Amino acid sequence: MNGTPSIVQNQREEMLEIKGLQVKLEAEDKAILKGVDLSIGAGEVHAIMGPNGSGKSTLSYVLAGREGYVVTGGNATLEGQDLLELEPEARAAAGLFLAFQYPVEIPGVGNMTFLRTAVNAQRKTRGEEELSAAAFLKLVREQAKALKIDADMLKRPVNVGFSGGEKKRNEILQMAMLEPRMCILDETDSGLDVDAMKLVADGVNALRSAGRSFLVITHYQRLLDHIAPDFVHIMADGRIIKTGGPELALEVEQNGYADILAEVA
Amino acid sequence: MALPKLRQDATSARLSAMVLPAGANWAMEARRAAVGRVATSGLPQRRDEYWRYTDPASLVSVEAGAAAVLQDNETPVFDGFDRLRIVFVDGVFDAGASDDLRLTGIEIERLPEAMAKDIHWAKELYGVLEARGQKPVERPLAALNTAFATDGVVIRVTAKVSKPVNLVYLHRDNSSDVALHHLLRLEAGAEMTLLENGPAAARFSTVLETEIGDGARLHHIRVQGRDHERRAVTHCFARLGTQSHFKSFTLTLNGKLTRNECIVDLTGNDAVAHVAGAALGDGPDFLHDDTVFITHDALACESRQVFKKVLRNGATGVFQGKILVKPGAQKTDGYQISQSLLLDDDSQFLAKPELEIYADDVVCSHGSTSGAIDDTALFYLRSRGVPVQAATDLLVLAFLAEALDEIADMRIADDLRGRLEGWLARRRR
């Protein structure tokens, strides 16, 4: 049963709880998620791997509140709060962050303006005071430096003319600035060379803490060499079909998904 | 050739209802010649090639429709900037509200004063660019203005002017019908910024004829009045000399009908002309029309047309833009973009981009688009915690950015951006 507050010490605190989540596309009557169960505790890093079309990205979009999907069953809560009834901006303010697989280019909106608007919008929603221009600038410079994001990238329009690696680093910068509790990384490693992946992974690792959880969606094991997961889940045909430790990722890397799919079938 | 009856009747009715203002011989000749142009072409009708999307009836009619004066407490545009104000109230010069017209490097006179003088340089400009601008496309409402304009300014600029000149058009009378005509001559190497703002009248016609000498620079920034029911037709005729610059930007919010025509002749080599506009319209009673004609008639000139319109709740936007490259105007660099952001299915944007090129070594590009808010970008912003309304506003401002970037003065550009944000916030429901 959920909703029962617990005061027992050392008990695992829940962050993201997904139960029997079923989702179909709005445009066509096609089920994508067919009952996803996933429980992520505070401070944990989970990875979801799976073949193309298994529903990994859909899961991330549905959690973040993208339009075009219909939830037909199940639920998802963030720290006990029903996520699915919230608007996307309220989910963000509640502590959810999705690093996009394809970060969106927004011509005409400066990266800095975008960051500041987002940071202050969330603070306002949470009833906190907005950051002053000076405080914001100091913070963004520190975080940008760690991610090797130069002043020019901060001035340019959001993601416009950024390389693949720059876009992904920009996602991590946003994550660092927004300080979410639950971070979902949707194929953050796609389109990155080894150095860029290292930089992104370092950025993520720097944010790991007891109160912050990660859900890393990836095709490949190599990102998990840099961001060590506590749990690895295999997703196929809209369900999580197997859960294990980091060794599961290595198994996929060596043998592909065929064995696991055959095993559960 | 006699005009068709309907056009003849409408034209005769309007002309007979008007009185030529008095003036010196040359001025009266210029006015009578303009009456002749109106009588020959007739006043515009919906069937005319360049009036197909915008019904000119309310601009042609003898009586101007009433327009309620907008009551609000917003700080007037350009307040807070050091400038020389020239104030017109319902088209009448208000000396008390205006600043001292004396300023180094610039001579400012009122039109009736200049036209009363037997000898005045204004003779070489008044109605001259307007008459030239009647070909190949007739602009009878501009000629009508030349014939009957009652006030305006006559400005000669001889150096770099230290602060902008601001023509302020106040509107107090619900039924005022006003025609102002301005002349602006920049001598070689001179430079000035001209600001215009305010609704002026229930029905407002303004003509600006400007001669920009070799190496001279004119920055023109205009914010049209926000009165919801006002109607306006404006014409800007500019002739550019060698290596001169002309940058014009217009922001339009509200108004029942706005027709802004800009006719630019690049007659000296290496001249640069940028004409830009941003318009925000809300409701079925909003119609905004930009009609631009840029003629390249010299070597290596650059022209840019950047027009952006944000339309919702049944608002209509029109763009008719032409680049004409004359034979021999080699190395021309022409660019034209017209775009609309339609915030719902009820609004519409009608665009007619035209290129006519008679030289073989030119670069000309043009584009025109209509689209809705980008859902992907909207979700991206919302996923970062920006509420849907604020995210939409941010994307609207982003859409307008390319036009606002044409404002040379950063401080004024920032001020206008802030006002746009305020307008968007007020229009939220």
Interface test mutation site (partner B, options A83, A117, A184, max chain B beta carbons within 10 A) = A117
Q: What pLDDT shows up at residue A5?
A: 47
d(CA B80, CA B77): 9
Question: What proportion of chain B, given as a percentage, has pLDDT over 70?
Answer: 100
- Give the closest residue to A235 by CA, choosing from A253, A255, A261: A261
**What's the rounded mean pLDDT across residues B120-138?**
97
pLDDT tens, position by position, B348-404: 999 999 999 999 999 999 999 999 999 999 999 999 999 999 999 999 999 999 999
pLDDT tens, position by position, B199-255: 999 999 999 999 999 999 999 999 998 899 999 999 999 999 999 999 999 999 999
Contact assignment for A118 to B385 by CB distance below 8 Å: yes
Instruction: Quote the DSSP letter at residue B315.
Output: -
- Give the closest residue to B321 by CA, choosing from B349, B292, B350: B292
Q: Which chain A residue shows the shortest CA-CA distance from B375?
A: A67
- Could you read off the pLDDT tens digit of each residue along chain A, which spans 265 residues? 444 444 444 578 999 999 999 999 999 889 999 999 999 999 999 999 999 899 999 999 999 999 999 999 999 999 999 999 999 999 999 999 999 999 999 999 999 999 999 999 999 988 999 999 999 999 999 999 988 889 899 999 999 999 999 999 999 999 999 999 999 999 998 888 888 899 899 999 999 999 999 999 998 888 999 999 999 999 999 999 999 999 999 998 888 888 888 887 6
Instruction: Enumerate the H helices of A157-246 as residue ranges.
Output: 164-178, 194-207, 222-226
Contact assignment for A178 to B384 by CB distance below 8 Å: yes
Q: What pLDDT shows up at residue A148?
A: 85
Provide, as residue numbers in chain A, all residues whose Cβ is less than 8 Å from the Cβ of B383.
Answer: 64-66, 88-89, 91-92, 97-98, 100
Option in A104, A108, A118 nearest B399 (CB)? A108
Residues A59, A76 contacting (CB under 8 angstroms): no
User: Could you tell me the strand order of the sheet in which B84-89 lies?
Assistant: B92-93, B84-89, B165-170, B191-198, B217-224, B245-253, B272-282, B302-312, B333-342, B363-371
Residue B93 has pLDDT above 80, yes or no: yes
Tokens of B188: 């070689």
Who has greater pLDDT, B72 or B92?
A: B92
Q: What pLDDT shows up at residue A10?
A: 58
Q: What pLDDT shows up at residue A253?
A: 86
**What's the rounded mean pLDDT across residues B165-178?**
96
Alpha-carbon gap: A261 to the closest alpha carbon of chain B (Å): 33
Tokens of B5: 């009856």
Tokens of A80: 């006990």
Say how many CB pairs under 8 Å bridge A and B: 82
Interface test mutation site (partner B, options A109, A112, A120, A122, max chain B beta carbons within 10 A) = A109
Who has greater pLDDT, A196 or B264?
A: B264
Q: Is the dihedral of CA B45, B46, B52, B56 positive or negative?
A: positive
Tokens of A214: 């990660």
Q: What pLDDT shows up at residue A260?
A: 85
What ipTM score was computed for the predicted complex, to two decimals? 0.94
CB contact set of B259 (below 8 Å; sequence gap of 6+)? B54, B56, B59, B141, B232, B233, B234, B289, B291
Q: What pLDDT shows up at residue A6?
A: 47
Q: What pLDDT shows up at residue B427?
A: 77
Burial of B24 (0-12, 13-18, 19+ CB in 10 A): middle
Q: How confident is the model at residue B1 (pLDDT cuts 50, 70, 90)?
A: low
End-to-end Cα separation, chain B, in angstroms: 55
Q: What pLDDT shows up at residue B78?
A: 95
Tokens of B189: 């190497």
Provide, as residue numbers in chain A, all residues whose Cβ is less than 8 Å from the Cβ of B414.
Answer: none
Provide, as residue numbers in chain B, all residues whose Cβ is less than 8 Å from the Cβ of A87.
Answer: 382, 387-388
Alpha-carbon gap: B283 to the closest alpha carbon of chain A (Å): 26
A14-264: CATH class:
alpha beta
In b/e form, how buried is each residue of B338-358, taking b as 16+ CB within 10 angstroms? bbbbbbeeebbbbbbbeeebe
Provide, as residue numbers in chain B, all residues whose Cβ is less than 8 Å from the Cβ of A100.
Answer: 380, 383
Q: What pLDDT shows up at residue A12?
A: 82
Contacts of range A197-200, beta carbons closer than 8 Å, 24 or more positions apart: A197/A222, A197/A223, A197/A226, A198/A226, A199/A147, A199/A148, A199/A165, A199/A169, A200/A165, A200/A168, A200/A169, A200/A172
- Give the closest residue to B121 by CA, choosing from B183, B36, B53, B58: B183
User: Could you tell me the strand order of the sheet in which A81-82 lies?
Assistant: A31-41, A14-25, A69-78, A81-82
Q: What pLDDT shows up at residue A2?
A: 45
Provide, as residue numbers in chain A, all residues whose Cβ is less than 8 Å from the Cβ of B377.
Answer: 104-106
Alpha-carbon gap: B306 to the closest alpha carbon of chain A (Å): 14
Instruction: Enumerate the H helices of A94-185 as residue ranges.
Output: 111-125, 133-146, 151-155, 164-178
Residues A250, A224 contacting (CB under 8 angstroms): no
Option in A93, A106, A108 nearest B385 (CB)? A93
Alpha-carbon gap: B262 to the closest alpha carbon of chain A (Å): 26
- Give the closest residue to B63 by CA, choosing from B233, B181, B177, B145: B177
Alpha-carbon gap: A92 to the closest alpha carbon of chain B (Å): 5
d(CA B206, CA B146): 9
Instruction: Enumerate the H helices of B104-263 as residue ranges.
Output: 111-116, 128-132, 140-148
Interface of A with B in 71-130 (CB under 8 A): 87-89, 91-93, 97-98, 100, 103-109, 113-114, 117-119, 121-122, 125
